[in-house]
Amino acid sequence: MDDFERELKVGFLEEASQLLSDAEQCFLVLESSPGDASTLDRIFRIAHNLKGSSKAVGFDDIGVFTHLWESFLLKLKNGETSVNSEVINLLLLCNDHVRVMVEALKQDLEARVDSTELLSRLNAMISGESIAMSFSPGPVSEATSASAFEEEVHGVFEGEPPPSKEELELLKLVNDSLDDLPNPALEVTKEEENLVIPDPGPIDAEVRSLPAPVFELKRAESPKASGSASTQDESIRVSLSRLEKLINSVGELVILQTVLREQSMSGGSHLLRKTIHQMGKVTKEVQDISMSLRMVPLRQTFQKMQRIVRDTSNMLDKRVSLSTQGDDTELDKTVLENISDPLVHLIRNACDHGIERPEDRIRAGKSETGNVMLNAYHQSGKLVIEVKDDGGGIDGDRLIKKAIEKGILKPDSKLSPQEAIHLIFHPGFSTKAQVTEVSGRGVGMDVVKTNIEALQGEVLVETELGKGTTFKVILPLTLAIIDGMVVKNGKFRFVVPLSHVHETLRPTGSDIQSSTGMGEMLLLRGENLPLFRLSRLLGQKRSEEQTKEQIAMVIRYSSQPFAVMVDDILGQQQVVIKEVGPEIRALRWMSGSAILGDGKPAIILEMNELVKPEGRGVA
C-alpha cells in the first residue's frame, strides 16, 4: 500500500479508539437511564461512523462487524428490544471486540481477528434469543477466513449456481452503496456531508475487475468566507515526538533568556536591557503555549473508571456507584499516562476492600449501594486526585495483627494509627485470606505507591471506621518546566519549587523555641511549626555565626506544614527540570537539576522528602 493509504488507515484507527471510548461511556449511561433517547442516538451515530469510515479505508472486517452491531442498535433505538443487563453486557462485549480489532490493526494493518462467535450471538439477539455472555476474541484461523458478507450472499443464491468472484465484487459494491445511502432516521454528520464518491463510469457487462472507489473530502469553507458569524476551534493531530522536541527547544530558550537577563544586569545599554526584558515576555508566552499543548483533561481517564467499577462490583456481587467531579481538570500528558494503573488499583481496592457487602451495609444502617467518589482539583500548584468511598474504613489494629502474622512486623512493634494504615503499601501485604481475580496478591497498593513516587508525587490516606476511606494522590502538574525559588546555603545554590513555598520570613530569636524530643519549633502567628535547618538536613558543617541571620521558608504543600532555614534567597526564575544521573536518582529529596542564569547547575530540592529521616538516604 502507498503512503497515502497507510496514512488514511492509521488516522482511522486513532479516531476509532476515541469513538470506542465514547461508546463505552454511553453504554454505561444507558444502563442507568435505559430510556434516554439522546444516548441511544449518540451510540447509533458512533456505530454508523465506525461502519462507514472502516469500509472507506478498507478495513472490511470492522465494517462487517459494525454493520451487524448497528442493526442490533437499530432495534434498541426503535424500541423493538428493551435495554437490560444482558443487552448492556453484549454491547460492552462488542465494544471490547472492536477495540481488540483496532489494537491488532495498529500493530499490523493486515491483521485479522475472528468475529464468528460474536457475530452469531449478535444475530441471535437480533432474532430475539437470549444467550450467555462469555467470549474471548482471538486470531482468525484459515477455516474461518471467509467474510460474513460472502456467506450472506451465498445464502441468498441457495439452490442456484454460486456467484463468481467478479459478481461478488459487484454485489459488494452495490451493497456498500446501499448501506451508505442517507437514512432519514440518522443525523448526517459534517464529514458525511463532505464525502464525495466519484462516478466510476459505466461497468462493462463482462466484468473482469472493478476499481476500488476513491473517496475525497471537500474543503469546508472558513467562517469568514461563508459569512457565518460563528467560529469553531479546529484541531490538528501532531505526533508526540514533535511535541517533545518543541518542549525541549523551548526549555533551552528559557535557559538562554535567563542567562541573557543575568548578563544584562552587570552591564550593557538601557536599550539592550529593555529588549531582553521584552524578549522575556515573549519567551514566557511561547513557553505557556507550548506547555499547554501537553496538557490534556482527565475526562477520558475518569470515564474508564466507570467500566472498572461496573465490572468489579459485578464480579464481587456488590452494588457500587461511581460519581466523578473535576474531570475537566488538565494534566501533563506524560503524568497522565502513568497514573492510569494506580487509579485502577485504587478504584478496585475501594470496591473490594472499602465497600461492604449489601447485607452488611443494611445492618450498619447504610444504603445497600456503596458510593465511590473520584475527584480532581488543583491545590498549591499540584494536582490532587481523591478516591473516596463510604465503606467500612481501615482497621489499623487488624492491619498490625496481619502484618505480625506475615512476619512484616515484630510482635512488640508499636505503630501510630497513621503508620499502621500505611502498612497497606508494603510489598506483598494483603488482608485477604484467599487470592481472587480482584485482589489478594499484595501487589496492588505497592504499585500505586511506587508509580506515584516515580512521578515525584505522594499518596495520603484518611480513614474512619464505619465511615469510609479517602486516598489522596498528589502530583506535579508537569515534569518539564517549573517556577523555582533560588536559595543559597553556604557556598551552594539550590532550587525549591515555588508552588511548595507558602511564605518566607526572617525570624527573631524569640520566634524559635527548642523542646526535648521535638527539636526546634517556629512560632508563627500562634502556630507551632517544626523547624529544620537546610545545612543539617544536607550534612553541611556550619559555624554558629553562619546560622544566625537566616531566612525561614514555610512549606505548606503537604499534610504537615513545616519551615526550613536557609542562608539567603537569591530570587525567583523559571527552570527547566533536567534528569539526574542513575547513581543519584534514588535520592528522593532530589527531584532533578536545573541550569541557572550564570550557566551553572543547581539541585532541585523536594523538601517534603528531605525532612523525612528515611528520605535523606538512598531509597
**Distance separating alpha carbons of residues 276 and 478, to the nearest angstrom:** 27
**Distance separating alpha carbons of residues 617 and 619, to the nearest angstrom:** 6
> What's the Cα-to-Cα distance from 522 to each of 504, 511, 513, 525, 528, rounded to whole Å?
12, 6, 7, 10, 6
DSSP output for 19-45: HHHHHHHHHHHHHH-TT-HHHHHHHHH
- Is 279 found in the same domain as 302? no
- Is 351 found in the same domain as 282? no
Q: Looking at the domain assignment, is residue 325 inside a domain?
A: yes
Please, where are the H alpha helices in 458-563?
A: 534-537
- Is 112 found in the same domain as 17? yes
Res. 391 pLDDT band, cuts 50 70 90: very high
Choose among 369, 421, 376, 417: nearest CA to 391: 369
- Is 39 found in the same domain as 28? yes
Q: Looking at the domain assignment, is residue 549 inside a domain?
A: yes
Res. 228 pLDDT band, cuts 50 70 90: very low
Domain boundary (476, 505, 523) is at 476
Residue 379 has pLDDT above 50, yes or no: yes
Place of cell 522536541: 245
Q: Looking at the domain assignment, is residue 215 inside a domain?
A: no
Would you tell me how many other CB atoms lie within 10 Å of the CB of residue 263? Answer: 15
Q: What share of the chain is helix, strand, coil (3-state, %, to 5)?
A: 45, 20, 35
Q: Whole domain around residue 45: which residue ranges?
A: 3-206
Q: Looking at the domain assignment, is residue 493 inside a domain?
A: yes
Residue 359 has pLDDT above 90, yes or no: yes
Instruction: Read off the pLDDT of each residue in 187-193 and give the average, rounded to a whole number.
Output: 40
Domain boundary (476, 493, 509) is at 476
Question: How large is the angle between the packed helices 148-156 and 60-77, nearest 10 degrees?
Answer: 70
- Is 508 found in the same domain as 365? no
DSSP state of 350: I
- Is 590 found in the same domain as 463? no
Q: Looking at the domain assignment, is residue 155 inside a domain?
A: yes
Domain boundary (476, 499, 522) is at 476
DSSP state of 219: P
Instruction: Read off the pLDDT of each residue in 514-542 and give the average, rounded to a whole number.
Output: 84
- Is 504 found in the same domain as 463? no
> What's the Cα-to-Cα distance from 179 to each of 20, 48, 468, rounded to whole Å?
21, 10, 53
Res. 414 pLDDT band, cuts 50 70 90: confident
Q: Looking at the domain assignment, is residue 237 inside a domain?
A: no
The pLDDT, as a whole number, for residue 231 is 47
Instruction: Read off the pLDDT of each residue in 270-285 and give the average, rounded to a whole number.
Output: 85
- Identify the CATH number of the domain in which residue 33 sits: 1.20.120.160
Q: Looking at the domain assignment, is residue 214 inside a domain?
A: no
- Is 553 found in the same domain as 455? no
**Distance separating alpha carbons of residues 334 and 479, to the nearest angstrom:** 8
- Identify the CATH number of the domain in which residue 560 sits: 2.40.50.180
- Is 111 found in the same domain as 246? no
- Is 374 found in the same domain as 282? no
- Is 345 found in the same domain as 449? yes
- For residue range 156-184, list pLDDT tens digits in order: 334 444 444 444 444 444 444 444 444 43
The pLDDT, as a whole number, for residue 552 is 92
- Is 319 found in the same domain as 174? no
- For residue range 109-119, list pLDDT tens digits in order: 888 888 888 88
> Please, what is the average pLDDT of the chain?
76
Kindly report which listed range (59-68, 189-198, 558-567, 581-590) carries the lowest average pLDDT score.
Answer: 189-198
Residue 494 has pLDDT above 80, yes or no: yes
Q: Looking at the domain assignment, is residue 217 inside a domain?
A: no
DSSP output for 278-299: HHHHHHHHHHHHHHHTTEEESH
Domain count, the chain: 4
- Identify the CATH number of the domain in which residue 348 sits: 3.30.565.10
Higher-confidence residue of 558 and 225: namely 558
Highest mean pLDDT among 139-148, 165-174, 179-188, 248-257: 248-257
Place of cell 469510515: 53
Place of cell 474471548: 136
